[in-house]
């Protein structure tokens, strides 16, 4: 007999409102960023920024590029700051955060600095390469960026994430043993499980697989470790191990490598097209004129926006694979289902978002679908417990 699926509670108006506001906020932020790029190009202000940069750097090209990136990043941050602050307030209004304003501001500063450093490295590399190889720059830049991606994937959990959160090896002996057993059965070994101190900033729960090679690890938020049973945490560990076994991080990087290739090719094409047609008179005919940076960012932004549904579909596919791996490797799916229910409740996640919202915005299948899929799988693969006859 097939197990009868548990009826799932519908999303409350509060949950719907929270998710709608979150989406509006992120879209408004995107539109403002887009508008900034267009305005810089159309008004010719990007040329002013370039001229000031040369002035401030005494005509040193690389220093001028840095000054341009610095001014650009200050303007972008000032414009997006109101939205970031509304986002911070929103988390408090819905009782999802206990982070103090001062700590949040410090995080914002750190985030801005990290972006500035990474942005500067990328922009200096691109224009440095354009100067050396103006014809084939986009292929060389692509190759360099591939190396950069691999490096970042490796460094993220040990260098980037600790800037914002504390991590420590998981102390729970039972859970560590369970993970080792899960790994042995899969013929693989994850080097570490870390407790992720998320509670200092948020009441939400989360888990993830991060890193590459020697930095590959599963991270579990302390907000999850605190409120979930060992069986539920094991189900989540099994899901993360599923990402590891199915090599999802490497697959995502390869995908990124392909997209970046198309991206650089497209940027080169658009840059040359726009310059030849003289659409923005402020841009000189030389490709290394970094006043064209807003145009490059614009092409990348539009491409990213158009690809979002496809990338999210691939991510949802990976999530389904990891879920299936979890069901196959835990004794019964009950704890998986209850863990999902708890996650939805704790994170105010929509169990049943609209089809369009899920298709466009969501990197994970909706919790409603994940639970339904688990129950349908179990009805075919797991023996139903027989009630003892008394």
Site for Zn ion in 322-341 (CB under 5 A): 322
- Six token digits for residue 371: 């639970």
Q: What are the residues whose beta carbons fall under 8 Å from the beta carbon of 115, sequence distance 6 or more? A: 73
Q: Which is nearer to Zn ion, 50 or 243 (CB)?
A: 243
CB of residue 337 to Zn ion, shortest distance in Å:
16
CB of residue 319 to Zn ion, shortest distance in Å:
5
Distance CA 13, CA 2 (A): 33
User: What are the backbone angles phi and psi of residue 190, rounded to the nearest 5°?
Assistant: -95, 130
CB of residue 135 to Zn ion, shortest distance in Å:
42
Q: Which is nearer to Zn ion, 50 or 370 (CB)?
A: 370
CB of residue 324 to Zn ion, shortest distance in Å:
11
DSSP 159: I
Size of the site for Zn ion (CB under 5 A): 2
Distance CA 79, CA 56 (A): 24
The residue to which tokens 């999902």 are assigned: 340
Q: Which is nearer to Zn ion, 319 or 375 (CB)?
A: 319
Q: Which stretch binds Zn ion (CB under 5 A): 10-18, 25-33, 188-196, 320-328?
A: 320-328
Contact 386/3 with Cβ under 8 angstroms?
A: no
H/E element, 17: helix 13-43
CB of residue 390 to Zn ion, shortest distance in Å:
42
The residue to which tokens 């679908």 are assigned: 369
Q: What are the residues whose beta carbons fall under 8 Å from the beta carbon of 122, sequence distance 6 or more? A: 145, 148
Q: Which is nearer to Zn ion, 192 or 365 (CB)?
A: 365
Q: Which is nearer to Zn ion, 322 or 337 (CB)?
A: 322
Q: Which stretch binds Zn ion (CB under 5 A): 79-87, 94-102, 176-184, 321-329?
A: 321-329
Q: Which stretch binds Zn ion (CB under 5 A): 122-130, 183-191, 316-324, 331-339?
A: 316-324
The residue to which tokens 């224009």 are assigned: 127
CB of residue 310 to Zn ion, shortest distance in Å:
18
Which residues here bind Zn ion, judged by CB under 5 A? 319, 322
């Amino acid at each position: 007999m097939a197990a009868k699926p548990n009826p799932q509670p519908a999303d409350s108006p509060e949950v719907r409102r929270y998710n709608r506001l979150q989406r509006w906020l992120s879209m408004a932020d995107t539109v403002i960023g887009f508008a900034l790029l267009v305005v810089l190009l159309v008004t010719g202000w990007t040329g002013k920024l370039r001229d000031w940069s040369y002035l401030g750097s005494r005509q040193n090209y690389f220093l001028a590029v840095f000054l341009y990136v610095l001014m650009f990043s200050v303007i972008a941050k000032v414009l997006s700051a109101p939205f970031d602050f509304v986002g911070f307030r929103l988390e408090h209004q819905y009782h999802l955060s206990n982070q103090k304003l001062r700590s949040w501001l410090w995080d914002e500063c750190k985030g801005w600095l990290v972006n500035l450093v990474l942005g500067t490295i990328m922009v200096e590399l691109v224009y440095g390469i354009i100067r050396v190889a103006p014809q084939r720059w986009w292929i060389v830049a692509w190759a360099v960026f591939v190396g950069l991606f691999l490096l970042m994937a490796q460094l993220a959990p040990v260098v980037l994430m600790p800037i914002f959160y504390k991590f420590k090896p998981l102390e729970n002996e039972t859970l560590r043993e369970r993970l080792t057993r899960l790994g042995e059965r899969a013929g693989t070994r994850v080097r570490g499980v870390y407790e992720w101190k998320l509670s200092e900033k948020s009441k939400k729960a989360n888990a993830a697989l991060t890193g590459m090679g020697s930095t590959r690890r599963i991270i579990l938020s302390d907000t999850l470790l605190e409120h979930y049973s060992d069986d539920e945490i094991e189900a989540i560990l099994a899901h993360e191990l599923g990402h590891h076994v199915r090599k999802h991080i490497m697959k995502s990087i390869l995908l990124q490598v392909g997209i970046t290739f198309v991206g650089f090719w497209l940027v080169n094409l658009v840059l040359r097209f726009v310059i030849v047609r003289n659409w923005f008179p402020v841009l000189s005919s030389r490709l290394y004129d970094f006043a064209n940076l807003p145009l490059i960012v614009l092409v990348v932004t539009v491409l990213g926006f158009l690809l979002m549904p496809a990338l999210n579909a691939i991510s949802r596919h990976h999530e389904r694979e990891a879920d299936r791996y979890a069901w196959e490797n835990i004794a019964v799916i009950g704890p998986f289902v209850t863990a999902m229910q708890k996650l939805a409740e704790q994170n105010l996640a929509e169990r049943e978002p609209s089809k369009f919202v899920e298709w466009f915005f969501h990197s994970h299948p909706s919790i409603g679908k994940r639970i339904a899929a688990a129950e349908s799988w179990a009805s075919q693969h797991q023996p139903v417990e027989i009630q003892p006859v008394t």
